[in-house]
Amino acid sequence: WAPPRDPGAADGLALPAAPPTRLTIPALGVRARVARAGLLPDGTLQPPRPPHEDRPAWYTGSVTPGEAGTAVIEGHLDSSAGPSVFFRLGRLRPGQHVRVRRADGATAVFTVDAVRRFPKDGFPARAVYADTPGPSLRLITCGGRFDPAARHYRDNTVAFAHLTAISR
């Protein structure tokens, strides 16, 4: 499997580093403040933690959204309280937009290229997290069937997007 080609590389759009503060996905009705996340000891992404478990979280080991390279924002599908921020991520379609407001006041607007579901035990980490020549974004959540014994979903859903506009 290979990620979608990064069409944003040719247009020269890019921003300097600035942390994300708000994520908006109009097609899914998502409007949320963005938390921060790192890695767990096993090298996997740290899920958003209380008191911010219902927020998307930017992986601080990735570039900031709008910078050249691949920015990663993750979020829960659901919790014991019900649906969470990325509950409908699998319904996102190519051509739809994701807006990321940044601490510098700029909003990076990304266009979705593809949405894919991968088994956790065969997750193509290199392809998903690989840096791209232009600014790109990965939105990641759980998906597939819930495994009650393991207490997690068997798959991950990933939305691939590239920067298409900047607003201030």
| pLDDT, tens only, 17-49 | 999 999 999 999 999 999 999 998 888 888 887
Nearest to 6 by CA among 141, 159, 133: 133
- Cα first-last separation, the chain: 36
Q: Are the C-beta atoms of residues 4 and 113 closer than 8 Å to each other?
A: yes
Distance CA 72, CA 35 (A): 12
What percent of the chain has a predicted confidence (pLDDT) above 90? 76
Q: What token pair was written down for 2?
A: 């290979």
Note the Cα 112 to chain centre separation in Å. 11
Does residue 75 surpass a pLDDT of 60?
yes
Q: Could you tell me the pTM of the whole model?
A: 0.92
How large is the average pLDDT for residues 82-91?
A: 95
